Chain A
Amino acid sequence: MPKLHSVKELNARREAGLGASSPARPCLTVCAGSGCTAAGAQDVLQALRRSLQRQGMEGAIEVKSTGCHGFCEKGPLMIVWPEGIFYHHVTAGDAAAIVGSACNGRRPLDRLLYQDPVSGKRVLHEEDVPFYRLQQRVLFGNNGRIDPKSIDDYLRVNGYAALAKVLTEFPPEQVVGAVKRSGLRGRGGAGFPTGRKWEVMRQQPGAPKYIICNADEGDPGAFMDRSLLEGNPHSVIEGMIIGAYALGASEGYVYVRAEYPLAVQHLSVALAQAEEAGLLGENILGSGLTFRAHLVQGAGAFVCGEETALIASIEGRVGEPSPRPPYPAQKGLWGKPTVINNVKTWASVPVIINRGPDWYAAIGTERSKGTMVFSLVGKINNTGLVEVPMGITLRKMIYEIGGGIPQGKSLKAVQIGGPSGGCIPASMIDLPIDYEALTEAGSMMGSGGMVVMDQDTCMVDLARYFMEFLEEESCGKCFPCREGTQRLREILTRISQGLGHEEDLQLLEDLGWMVRETSLCGLGQTAPNPVLTTLRYFRDEYLSHIREKRCPAKVCKELITYHIEPALCDGCGACVRVCTSEAILGERKKLHSIDNAKCIKCGACMEVCVPKAVVVN
């Protein structure tokens, strides 16, 4: 793309793009996010292209790969434009039929349409699928529409219009004012008001100033930032350029997890395009603004999500946090004023400028404004990425958007906010999702991980799992976090093995309190949350492990045994074939039984048993 020297040239480029691609032109868009790619999206794309070629239609119908639509459970997903017909679970074998139907104006393929589980009706459009109906896709709306590797596609959906607006109409302080008025709070976890952070930074003397996009999404069970960078990288870059203008920053960094190769790739392409178009570099759009942005790949450390650790990592050191104050806004990267915001926070900025801060502030609750993106995962029917207005209840999230718990099982708890978050029990399902409400319940908003658990999840095991993770990821700099997470994990392991004592519960609480109050950074300060919330809401389950040496969810290996229900066993032999320890006795067509002396409790037999004869005691 030739360099754009002014807002006028930018607008002309957008107009030209809109003219070249009429919305009425047929187009097949296939989701090529990590989830759909793992499910075979690339094969579908190839097959669609081949089918079009075979039918001589490659010029008439465009095939495009887009970013994540969010409904990963049903992938690969695709949409037939201009009608907006939404297909799910598409395979390469469906390509010819899809092309045939799209070319000849025939009726949509029924078998690929989503079927509403309640009414049984086939749903034609994405927005009518129950999973999407309650969502408000402010940040993710364009993900399914644009090719993330095309800057022209982003321009077509009004991309870089917010940048043009601030450069021509807003002095920098007015941009900060707008962000402040919108009520936007940091989407990375702590929820600090973004406008206030920006104000502090603006008041700092000294140059240069830096801005950083924190895309070190390390929470296990969360992939919001990844999907946004994969699907709409320019929206994040636009937010950063606006931020640079408002804050007087000349350099910016995007710190991305190296474990997200597709996000790294799309972001690199987008940065190069923005530079070529003159949206990054010197004298951006003739405004006199100079801003350069660099991509830094994380080297795999959960603690680098903490801002001071992230800065240390960019500087080439180990990712150990430093005490605050001074805050990065005062003394950050290379000792200069630095603002760090999460991917979604940056991407929210163009929206606030385009739609106005009052429009944004009208979404959500009194103190939590706008939309929040969650990755809804675990024991839930509709797994995927969900963008909802703040204040929506957990009930709506789980039962209306998420479609409830699979196999008719019951909801037990929801874990929100990643390893530092807490478990909220099923009895609190009417809790609104709001920064303060979640904190009061002992959890936290975090960056948007939401893991749903059913009756088969053991809360002691879950607390132990998180503590093991945090123990591994503790950087080791401060004593309370380094030693505290180890001791907490040891006690939890002991309880899960049936070796715990009742006094251990008090010890967990005391130790948890100590780690929370005395750790240096956010990782340690929130590390005890999973233990403390499970203790608060599921104390009985801990007591069962201790007093009765029983795991009610039948998860903790040391406390369970497998056996075969004679009335249900049909002697098919599937369990015998899958058992690696020769612990299953019995010939084909005859009743099987398990030798508990040999059984290693791997549970493979239970997985394969069709009549469900393998049970846990």
Chain B
Amino acid sequence: MRGTMQLDEILKDSSNHAENLIPVLQQIQAKHHYLPEEALRHVAGHFQIPLTQVFHVATFYNCFSLEPVGEHLVQVCLGTACHVRGAARVLDRLLRDLKLAAPGTTGDFQFTVQPVRCVGCCALAPVVRIDSNTHSHLTQAKVRGLLKRYQRKEAVPAAAVA
């Protein structure tokens, strides 16, 4: 219920003009870190457009996620400058250390690993952005220590976080 109320607040300030659709989705994404299905249905109703159209936009742009993300968002830059300085190896190492087969969210919802193309800090390549902190000149050896700084002290059951 609380979620619906927050959504109403976002929609309250937006007319149902088409140009407001993406900003509304961006606000929902910012609040929940993903776009819950219920919210998408609500948005479709507000804009009086088919759900498929909302889904089309939500799946087209990279900044939207249809899956919940973990407590910490780990964005691994795979921009060209980072690529030529070994970013792919850093990504592989991160995935191995977090026991993930592919980019995504860890079982305990602590981390979501997401490759991105360029955060614009090419001089500091390779870089990883965790939440809003940019970590520069990464090597594989630095990965474990870096993750430790963000890891929760005691493991909380995944359900409690989700």
A residues with a Cβ closer than 8 A to B are 34-35, 37-39, 72-73, 75, 217-223, 226, 258-261, 296-297, 299-302, 313-319, 375, 377-379, 383-384, 415, 418-419, 449, 451, 453, 457, 462, 465-466, 469, 475, 578, 580, 602-604, 607-608
- Chain B: which residue is nearest A38 at the CB level? B134
Q: How far is the CA of A378 from the CA of B118 in the complex (A)?
A: 13
- Chain A: which residue is nearest B122 at the CB level? A377
Indicate if the CB atoms of B141 and A221 lie closer than 8 Å. no
Q: How far is the CA of A580 from the CA of B119 in the complex (A)?
A: 28
CB distance from A70 to the nearest CB of B (A): 9
Does chain A have a CB within 8 A of B57? yes
Instruction: Indicate whether A221 sits within 8 Å of B26 (C-beta atoms), given known contacts A38-B136, A317-B57, A319-B61.
Output: no
Indicate if the CB atoms of B23 and A378 lie closer than 8 Å. no
Does chain A have a CB within 8 A of B32? no
B120-151 residues at the A interface, CB under 8 angstroms: 120-125, 127, 132, 134-136, 139-141
Q: How far is the CA of A221 from the CA of B83 in the complex (A)?
A: 9
Indicate if the CB atoms of A315 and B123 lie closer than 8 Å. no
CB distance from B35 to the nearest CB of A (A): 11
- Chain B: which residue is nearest A333 at the CB level? B19
B2-45 residues at the A interface, CB under 8 angstroms: 17-23, 25-26
Q: How far is the CA of A573 from the CA of B48 in the complex (A)?
A: 65
- Chain A: which residue is nearest B140 at the CB level? A604
Instruction: Indicate whether A302 sits within 8 Å of B117 (C-beta atoms), given known contacts A377-B123, A607-B141.
Output: yes
Q: How far is the CA of A266 from the CA of B146 in the complex (A)?
A: 30
Indicate if the CB atoms of B93 and A602 lie closer than 8 Å. yes
Indicate if the CB atoms of B79 and A475 lie closer than 8 Å. no
- Chain B: which residue is nearest A320 at the CB level? B60
A-B contact pairs, 21 of them (CB 8 A): A35-B121, A75-B123, A220-B78, A220-B79, A220-B81, A220-B117, A222-B122, A299-B22, A299-B26, A299-B64, A300-B64, A315-B19, A316-B19, A318-B61, A418-B80, A419-B80, A462-B83, A580-B97, A602-B93, A607-B140, A608-B141
Indicate if the CB atoms of B93 and A604 lie closer than 8 Å. yes
Residues of B within 8 A of A378 (CB): 80-81, 84-85, 122, 125
Indicate if the CB atoms of B118 and A73 lie closer than 8 Å. no
Residues of A within 8 A of B121 (CB): 34-35, 38, 72, 223
Q: How far is the CA of A590 from the CA of B69 in the complex (A)?
A: 46
B residues with a Cβ closer than 8 A to A are 17-23, 25-26, 56-57, 60-64, 78-86, 89, 92-93, 96-97, 116-125, 127, 132, 134-136, 139-141
CB distance from B97 to the nearest CB of A (A): 8
Indicate if the CB atoms of A34 and B134 lie closer than 8 Å. yes
CB distance from B87 to the nearest CB of A (A): 10
Indicate if the CB atoms of B81 and A377 lie closer than 8 Å. yes
Residues of A within 8 A of B134 (CB): 34, 37-38
Indicate if the CB atoms of A475 and B60 lie closer than 8 Å. yes
CB distance from B36 to the nearest CB of A (A): 17
Residues of B within 8 A of A223 (CB): 118, 120-122
Indicate if the CB atoms of A39 and B136 lie closer than 8 Å. yes
Indicate if the CB atoms of B92 and A602 lie closer than 8 Å. yes
Indicate if the CB atoms of B117 and A469 lie closer than 8 Å. yes
Q: How far is the CA of A390 from the CA of B134 in the complex (A)?
A: 33
Q: How far is the CA of A580 from the CA of B95 in the complex (A)?
A: 12
Pick the contact of B89: A219, A315, A603 (CB < 8 A): A603
Q: How far is the CA of A223 from the CA of B121 in the complex (A)?
A: 8
Pick the contact of A297: B26, B64, B78 (CB < 8 A): B26
Residues of A within 8 A of B81 (CB): 220-221, 377-378, 383, 451
Residues of A within 8 A of B17 (CB): 316
The 4 A-B residue pairs with the shortest CB-CB distance in the complex, in nearest-first order: A72-B123, A300-B62, A221-B80, A220-B79
- Chain B: which residue is nearest A302 at the CB level? B117
Q: How far is the CA of A296 from the CA of B20 in the complex (A)?
A: 10
- Chain A: which residue is nearest B97 at the CB level? A580
Residues of B within 8 A of A465 (CB): 80, 83
Indicate if the CB atoms of A301 and B136 lie closer than 8 Å. no
Indicate if the CB atoms of A300 and B80 lie closer than 8 Å. no
Indicate if the CB atoms of A603 and B118 lie closer than 8 Å. no
Q: A258-B26, A301-B60, A383-B125 are in contact. List 17 more A-B contacts (CB 8 A).
A: A35-B121, A72-B121, A72-B124, A73-B123, A75-B123, A217-B120, A220-B79, A296-B23, A297-B23, A299-B26, A299-B63, A302-B117, A316-B21, A316-B22, A415-B80, A602-B92, A602-B93
Q: How far is the CA of A180 from the CA of B26 in the complex (A)?
A: 39
CB distance from B123 to the nearest CB of A (A): 3
Q: How far is the CA of A64 from the CA of B72 in the complex (A)?
A: 32
CB distance from B57 to the nearest CB of A (A): 6
Indicate if the CB atoms of A219 and B123 lie closer than 8 Å. no
Indicate if the CB atoms of B124 and A35 lie closer than 8 Å. yes
Q: How far is the CA of A315 from the CA of B139 in the complex (A)?
A: 42
Q: How far is the CA of A315 from the CA of B134 in the complex (A)?
A: 33
Indicate if the CB atoms of A38 and B93 lie closer than 8 Å. no
Residues of A within 8 A of B136 (CB): 38-39
CB distance from B103 to the nearest CB of A (A): 12
- Chain A: which residue is nearest B142 at the CB level? A607
CB distance from B101 to the nearest CB of A (A): 13
Instruction: Indicate whether A226 sits within 8 Å of B120 (C-beta atoms), given known contacts A39-B136, A221-B81, A602-B140.
Output: yes
Residues of B within 8 A of A379 (CB): 84-85
CB distance from A610 to the nearest CB of B (A): 12
